[in-house]
Structure 1
Amino acid sequence: MPSYPLRILLVEDHPFQLLATQCLLRSFGFARLTPTENAEQAICAMAQAEVPFDIILCDQCLPDLPGLELIEIASRRRFTTTAILLSGLPAAELASLINQAVDRGLPLLGYLSKPLNRDELAHLLCPLLKLRL
Structure 2
Amino acid sequence: MRVTDTVKDEGTGIGKPENLSVQAVATPPKRLRKLLNAEAEIADKPKNPKPVETKTDTVLKKLRLAKGITIEGLIAATGWQPHSVRGFLSGTVKKKLGLPLVSEIGKDGVRRYRLDSKAKAD
TM-score (norm 1): 0.25
Give the number of the structure with larger relative contact order, counting CA–CA contacts within 8 Å between residues 6 or more apart: 1
Greater Cα radius of gyration, structure 1 or 2: 2
TM-score (norm 2): 0.26
